[in-house]
Structure 1
Amino acid sequence: MENQDKSKNTAIIAYLTIIGAVIAIFMNQEDNKSAFASFHIRQALGLFLSFFLLGYFVGYADSWTVTSAFYLFYFILWIYGFLGAVQGQMRELPVVGAFFQNLFKTL
């Protein structure tokens, strides 16, 4: 039971910020690596990195509709992943979840 709580807390921390994702990676490096925490770390890290990468280019669009749609899309994905971690479910993020799982499979 304690190990389940620890992996759930690690998964939740991963979604807090990019720094939280890095902290969660180090929290999950112990001898008893959790598949649940690893799943959510991959999702959160991919979400944050793609947000910064794509956000850089969206910032040059100079259109409030494009920028607003971009922020809304990522906020919905973040809520979806965060609620999955809180509820203890391993649900991939829509559209990009499978890509993040393959890209960061070594974590």
Structure 2
Amino acid sequence: MEPNTSHSNIADGKSTAIIAYITLIGLIVAFVQNSEKKNAYANFHIRQSLGLMCTGLALSLINIIPLLGWIICIVGMFVLLVLWIKGLLNAINGKELPVPVMGNLYDKWFSGIQ
């Protein structure tokens, strides 16, 4: 948990943060829920989830390349699954930690989501 994140802020945004990791529909629902009542904790996890979804989409596009693309996609999807579980566990446990490897980039790339 980052020092500037208050416990009430986490409690208020925890359900939205968790929903953000549950499929694309969950991400959309979380985005809509958070647009009404802005919550920094929920925003952080929405950005992380959106980054994971975009990475999954990019891996799917790489899958078009025969053999090498398939291998990269399979390995990448396993890594992505581990990152998704880590992000979901962070949201459940009230932690505002970026997912390993790409989390800081996701936060930077999607910083416009406030």
TM-score, structure 1 length as denominator? 0.86
Q: Give the Cα separation in 2 of the matches to 1:22 and 1:94.
A: 23
Q: Percent identity?
A: 36
Q: Give the Cα separation in 1 of the matches to 2:96 and 2:8.
A: 19
1:13/1:21 contact within 8 Å kept = yes
Amino acid at match of 1:104: F
- In the alignment, structure 1 residue 72 sits paired with structure 2 residue 78: yes
Q: Give the Cα separation in 2 of the matches to 1:35 and 1:2.
A: 11
Q: Give the Cα separation in 2 of the matches to 1:34 and 1:86.
A: 16
- Of 39, 42, 63, the residue aligned with 1:37 is 42
Structure 2 portions without partners, runs of 5+: 1-6
- Of 46, 52, 68, the residue aligned with 1:47 is 52
TM-score, structure 2 length as denominator? 0.81
Q: Give the Cα separation in 1 of the matches to 2:29 and 2:48.
A: 14
Amino acid at match of 1:24: A
- How many corresponding residue pairs? 106
Amino acid at match of 2:21: Y
Match of 2:26, SS? helix
Amino acid at match of 2:46: I
Structure 1 portions without partners, runs of 5+: none
- In the alignment, structure 1 residue 28 sits paired with structure 2 residue 72: no
RMSD of aligned C-alpha atoms? 2.0
2:9/2:40 contact within 8 Å kept = no
2:17/2:46 contact within 8 Å kept = yes
- In the alignment, structure 1 residue 81 sits paired with structure 2 residue 82: no
Give the Å deviation of 1:3: 6.5
Give the Å deviation of 1:4: 4.4
